[in-house]
Amino acid sequence: MAKILIIDDDPDLIDTYSIILTNNGYEVLSALNGEEGLVKIKNDKPDLIVLDVMMNTDYEGFEVARKIREDMKLLRLPIIMLSGIHEVKKVRYRFAPDETYLPVDIWLDKPVEPDVFLEIIRTALSDMPQQTG
Amino acid sequence: MATEKSDVVVLGGSAAGLTAAITAHRQYPEKSVVIIRKEAKVLIPCGIPYIFGTVGTPEKNLVPDAVLDKNKIKLIVGEAEKIDTENKTVKLAGGDEVVYEKLIVATGSLPAMPPIPGFDKENVWAIHKDVELLRGIQGKLKDVKDLVIVGGGFIGIEFADECKKAGVENVSIVELLPHCLMLAFDEEFAVEAEKVLIERGIKLVTGVKVLEFAGGKKVESVKLGNGEELKADAVIMGIGAVANVKMAKKSGLKLGPTGAIEVNRYLAASDPDVFACGDCAEKVSFFGGRSSPLKLASIAASEARIAGANLFGLRRENIGTIGVWGTAIGDFALSCAGLTESMAKEAGYDFVIGEAEGPNRHPGTMPGAENVKVKLTFERRTGVLLGAQMMGGSVVGELINVMSACIQKKMTIDDIAVFQIGTHPALTASPIAYQVVNAAEMAFMKTKK
């Protein structure tokens, strides 16, 4: 059973996605901020991260992604960034996965339909067979 | 709330949208065609860097709307908020609706912003295809003494050269790869381009990562991974673009692996009456069929001619993205099509290279003579052309299009070596030393080794 860690400051979102994921056979862990998330990555060794951007600070998720890749050297741990920042900040540019500057595998704008979310999780995990539990 | 009906509705009015609408009219003259676009005025996308120097103002870089009347295309300036695929209706901001029989989504792309710490400071600019915004940047540029451009691809080097031309004193390009233009050219071509940039007064910092945009509310410097700190009154981001699919996603159209709208070889999207083309649509490479991240106006226009033709019957098929590029730094031009030597190596091809160089007039003392270097990459076993790179005089901008046709038609070393060329002393290289033909001959010799 693959273990998924959701890092998001919105407990309702965590609840919703936890139900969807557990109903589909995944084990779900959660953290309400980056610091807590990084501890759980170290201790619980999840197979995939779902990471928000705007938490304690506006760009906390960006820093967390960089820490996972650069400081923790977890280069092959799949990260799905799930954020509403484009809508909230009304920016006219777009953030997108970038090996150097935004080291995540997939960017998703909130909200995401459950079936789309599940398909993306499945694909991300199947691309990383050595990571699945 | 007004409701309109049109046989064909195109969302977007730039390279893909306009070309798709024109194609729809040409292929199906009995059908009515409407373009819905957000912008009152549409910028020529590839001309944007030249607004800042050569062309002078955004208004001198616009797609003329006269072409719409000529092709009986109706224009609605408005923002499409949602596609109701069930009722085949586009809902516009403000409540109006347009009912379609077939729809083409050509909503383009938005600039990518890498979230480097400090990216939200004032004077860190992402370049949008928006007249007002560009006019604003152009106004602010007058007070800029130190400009840093992040990204040494085509956009980055063109902006650097044009901003220098506009009078910015210190222009630097920061590139992560060892050389500028390395995503499109082999090293020896990239190095020549860099020499010209340096001669024109542009500072190049390559092989280096940007760590931070520092300063107060406004950017003051750019901190780099090599410990250097570049003074900066302004920063232009030239990192790339992301498909503009917010509305398509909201409307339930399926997205593909790069986050663009999923399409098949006929450019049909996941709904049977919806097509997509240009920067907002997924692409696959001509070479091997893997997902391709390339976004170019020329690709968009080609796809638009496929999507527009297929609306009421599948007539044209997308063969995949070859990737044909060109740029000029002053009088020095570079162009490429298909795979470079390093790309062919990375893709696992067994290949041979052929190179030839010489003047593009004969004799070389004729007026207008410029040196042209050609490098061709062929698959060794079949001799099929995989790619071409050129540099030198401006002729390489058009000559590369000939090479793209050769790639598209899978022409071989022998096909190109016996090319029936037309030559003239005042117009071309000599028939004996025609660079493309000679490069094929050089490649042939290597197949014998």
Instruction: Give exposure, B326-359, as e/b (b: 16+ Cβ within 10 Å).
Output: bbbbeebbbbbbbbbbebbeeeebebbbbebebb
Contact B403, B415 (CB under 8 A): no
Q: Are B213 and B118 in contact (CB under 8 A)?
A: yes
A-chain residue closest to B238, CA distance: A93
pLDDT band for B356, please (50, 70, 90 cuts): very high
Q: Answer yes or no: do B115 and A96 touch at CB < 8 A.
A: no
pLDDT at B340: 97
User: And the tokens for B393?
Assistant: 């005089």
Disruptive mutation site among A59, A94, A113, A123 for chain B (greatest number of B CBs within 10 Å): A94
User: Which residue is closest to A124 within chain B, CA to CA?
Assistant: B257
- Give the β-pairing of B124-126 and B234-237: parallel
- State mean pLDDT over B175-179: 97
Interface test with A, best of B79, B81, B113, B244 (most A CBs within 10 A): B113
CA distances for B271 relative to B87, B102, B278, angstroms: 12, 10, 17
CA-wise closest residue to B243 among B76, B107, B447: B107
Instruction: Decide if B113 touches A, using CB distance below 8 A.
Output: yes
Residue of B1, B4, B33 whose CA lies nearest to B307:
B33
Q: How many CB atoms lie within 10 A of CB B59?
A: 12
Q: What is the pLDDT of residue B75?
A: 97
CA gap B71, B73 in Å, rounded: 5
The per-residue pLDDT for A131 is 36
Report the relative pairing of strands B80-84 and B89-92 from DSSP bridges: antiparallel
What ipTM is given for this predicted complex?
Answer: 0.88
pLDDT in tens, B397-448: 999 999 999 999 999 999 999 999 999 999 999 999 999 999 999 999 999 8
User: Mean per-residue pLDDT for B155-165?
Assistant: 95
Residues of A in contact with B259 (CB under 8 A): 96, 106-107
Interface test with A, best of B110, B129, B177, B258 (most A CBs within 10 A): B110
DSSP-assigned letters across all residues of B114-160 = ---TTTTSBTEEE--S-HHHHHHHHHHHTT-SEEEEE--SHHHHHHH
Residues A103 and A65: beta-carbon distance below 8 Å: yes
**Cβ neighbours, 10 Å, residue B269:** 29
As a whole number, mean pLDDT of residues B279-288 equals 96
Chain-chain contact of B113 with A107 (C-beta, under 8 angstroms): no
Map residue B62 onto helix, strand or coil. strand
**Residue numbers in A near B137 (CB within 8 A):** none
Tokens 């003494």 sit at which residue?
A: B145
Helix (H, G, I), strand (E, B) or coil at B255: strand
Element (H, E) at B10: strand B3-11
| A127 close to B (CB below 8 A) | no
Helices (H), B150-240: 154-165, 187-199
Q: What's the pLDDT score for residue A132? A: 33
Nearest to B112 among A62, A94, A100 (CB): A94
Q: How far apart are CA A125 and CA A23, in angstroms?
A: 17
Instruction: Give residues 17 to 56 of B whose Cβ lies within 8 Å of A.
Output: none
A39 at interface of B, judged by CB pairs closer than 8 A: no
Q: DSSP assignment of B379-424, as one string?
A: ETTT-BEEEEEEEESTTHHHHHHHHHHHHHTT-BHHHHHT------
Residues of chain A neighbouring B110 (CB-CB closer than 8 A):
92-94
CA angle B416, B418, B422 (to 5 degrees): 95
Q: Is the pLDDT of residue A128 over 70?
A: no
Dmax (CA) of chain B: 74
How much is the mean pLDDT over chain B? 96
B444 CB-near residues (< 8 Å, 6+ apart)? B354, B383, B413, B414, B417
Q: What percent of chain B has pLDDT over 90?
A: 95
Minimal C-alpha gap between A15 and chain B (Å):
23
How would you classify residue A90: left for phi > 0, otherwise alpha for psi between -120 and 50, otherwise beta?
left
The pLDDT value given to residue B257: 85
Sequence letter at residue B19: T
Does A62 sit within 8 Å of B110, measured CB to CB? no
Q: What is the pLDDT of residues A41-76, one digit of tens each?
A: 999 999 999 999 999 999 999 999 999 998 899 989
Over residues A85-112, mean pLDDT = 92
| CB contacts, 8 Å: B175 with chain A | none
Chain A residue with CA closest to B254: the answer is A116
Q: What pLDDT, in 10s, does the model give residues A5-53?
A: 999 999 999 999 999 999 999 999 999 999 999 999 999 999 999 999 9
Rounded CA gap, B439 and B417, in Å? 8
Mutate which: A93, A108, A110, vs B, most B CBs within 10 A: A93
In this complex, is the C-beta atom of B115 within 8 Å of any C-beta atom belonging to chain A? yes
Q: Is the pLDDT of residue B137 over 50?
A: yes
Q: Provide the pairing of β-strand B109-111 with B89-92.
A: unpaired
pLDDT at A3: 97
Closest CA to A84 of A64, A118, A61: A61
- Chain A: give the shortest CA distance to residue B243, in Å: 9
Do the chains contact at B128 and A93, CB–CB below 8 Å?
Answer: yes
H-helix or E-strand spanning residue B20: helix B15-27
Residues of B in contact with A100 (CB under 8 A): 114, 176, 209
In chain A, what residues touch B128 (CB-CB under 8 Å)? Answer: 92-93
Average pLDDT of the residues in B86-100: 97
Chain B: give the shortest CA distance to residue A2, in Å. Answer: 22
Burial of B226 per CB tally in 10 Å (0-12, 13-18, 19+):
exposed
Q: Work out the average pLDDT over A112-117.
A: 90
Nearest to A98 among B114, B126, B130 (CB): B114
Determine the distance in angstroms separating the CA of B114 from the nearest CA of chain A, rounded to an integer.
6
- Contact call for B113 and A94, based on CB within 8 A: yes
The continuous run of DSSP H or E covering B76 comes out as: strand B73-77
pLDDT in tens, B370-383: 999 999 999 999 99
pLDDT of residue A130: 44
CB contact under 8 A, A93 and B110: yes
Query: Comparing C-alpha atoms, which of A22, A21, A20, A49 is closest to residue A37?
Result: A49
A-chain residues near B209 (CB < 8 A): 100
Q: How many angstroms separate the CA atoms of B65 and B70, rounded?
A: 9
